[in-house]
Amino acid sequence: MRKPKTYRHLFFDLDHTLWDFEKNSEETLYYLYDHFKLGELGNFSRESFYKKYSFVNTRMWDLFHKGKITQQQLRENRFTKSLTGLGMAAADIPEGLSKAFTDICPTKTAVFPFTHEVLDYLQQKYTLHIITNGFKDVQYIKMKSAKLDTYFSEVVTSECINITKPDKRIFQHALERAGVTAQESLMIGDSLDADILGAMNAGIDQVLFNPEKKRPRLKPTYEVHCLSQLKEFL
């Protein structure tokens, strides 16, 4: 691995990079399946519910990132589309299901392996920040619940300026908030488009967090498969 520049500030993505979105979401969805007795209302399993929701949610987030739907439309429609896609009548969808997910999921505490150990190490050497497309109210609950809130100086959400990653303006806003230049900064995230391409366009070096070891179509400055590898060059 090449010798890194002298960075002063590290910017992290939150979901899928530090906070284990898939694990926390799965736990929540299984609970909701049982609590709202979805198996009795529709002829599908917990696993089918989880897979369908994950499919729909991913695509709706993509629409949100592209500015094609609003935050409210995302929150209101992802369960309706998931459950009707599984054959449930819209009239049978339990009231309060979407709100229950939004209330419960952010309180889950699963993070990726070595998250706290690596942040403890990096905090001694760098100033740490968050740049996230997640909703402000939810992201703060996630960070507090998972004991991540004490590590970061600036937490920049897309709601701050109504601009989402990969738009370079959210990265420029984060640099301004932190009072640092792009050359002194490093972006760490799992998304090739939102995190890596966005940081590239803003002139910021990047670390692709790639735990599944997929072959990336872009060439980031660095790539790690486990967060512990950050300690090897930072």
Q: What is the DSSP string of 118-168?
A: HHHHHHTTSEEEEEE-S-HHHHHHHHHHTT-TTSEEEEEEHHHHT--TTSH
pLDDT of residue 4 exceeding 80, the answer is no
188 with 172, same domain: the answer is yes
Whether 127 maps to a domain, the answer reads: yes
The boundaries of the domain holding residue 45 are 22-106
pLDDT of residue 234 exceeding 70, the answer is yes
75 with 101, same domain: the answer is yes
CA distances from 7 to 95, 138, 181, 182 (A): 49, 29, 10, 9
Instruction: Judge contact between 223 and 1, C-beta under 8 A.
Output: no
State the Cα–Cα distance between residues 19 and 158, nearest whole angstrom: 17
Whether 4 maps to a domain, the answer reads: no
Whether 1 maps to a domain, the answer reads: no
**Using one digit for the tens of pLDDT, what is the confidence trace for 59-89?**
998 898 788 988 889 988 999 999 999 999 9
pLDDT of residue 3 exceeding 90, the answer is no
Beta bridge partners of 131: 156
CA angle (212, 65, 222) in 5-degree steps: 40
Confidence (pLDDT) at 2: 55
**Using one digit for the tens of pLDDT, what is the confidence trace for 140-161?**
999 999 999 999 999 999 988 8
- CB environment 78-99: b (16+ within 10 A), e (fewer): bbebbbbebebeeeebbeebbe
56 with 88, same domain: the answer is yes
DSSP category for residue 227: G
63 with 168, same domain: the answer is no
Whether 214 maps to a domain, the answer reads: yes
